[in-house]
Amino acid sequence: MIMTLLGKTETPLPPFTLMGCMNYLHGASPAPTICACTKDDEIDLATTWRLLWRDDRYIDGLIPEEERYYRFNQPEVKHSAPQNVSEKDQITWTESGTAAPKTGRWLVESDMTASIELKAGELLPLHQGRMVRWVLAGATIWQWDSDQD
């Protein structure tokens, strides 16, 4: 106290004899332990949690009146890319990076000299470092040739 009157306050150094913190825990969630950090070390301490207040405000699924204007962060929903697979008119095709829907020989649509044998579920690769459309061999494939009349 005298040090405070003279203008200098002492900075307390951990670990302290009595430590505690508030935690908002949900049912069945694991309660954290306490770790006291000193300048040179970390000390794990035995932790006892006591229920101070049971929050029953959310039981009915509604937001309580006192939180009506709170803004809650919503996790960004990541939608998986739709499978680009078509089996219309007996032609089965898909794109690089997707799983082959059928076992067989797959041809690159823009380069019919390139092919690969895959089992159903294996990923179709890039062709010459780029995404391409793959066609399952065995179907009749028509391709426009700019040299034809």
Please check whether residue 29 lies inside any domain of the structure.
no
Please check whether residue 137 lies inside any domain of the structure.
no
E strand intervals along the chain? 34-37, 42-45, 93-95, 104-108, 111-118, 133-136
pLDDT at 6: 60
pTM for the predicted model, two decimal places:
0.37
Please check whether residue 92 lies inside any domain of the structure.
yes
pLDDT at 119: 92
Percent helix / strand / coil, the chain, rounded to 5: 5, 25, 70
Rounded CA gap, 84 and 87, in Å? 10
For residue 20, what are its two tokens? Answer: 């505690």
Domain range for 121: 88-128
Rounded CA gap, 96 and 67, in Å? 48
18-54 pLDDT, tens digit per residue, is 556 677 777 777 777 788 788 888 888 777 777 778 8
Please check whether residue 122 lies inside any domain of the structure.
yes
100-124 pLDDT, tens digit per residue, is 998 999 999 888 788 899 999 999 9
Please check whether residue 119 lies inside any domain of the structure.
yes
Please check whether residue 30 lies inside any domain of the structure.
no
Q: How many domains does the chain have?
A: 1
Please check whether residue 120 lies inside any domain of the structure.
yes
CB 91, CB 66: distance < 8 Å: no
Rounded CA gap, 134 and 110, in Å? 9
Please check whether residue 56 lies inside any domain of the structure.
no
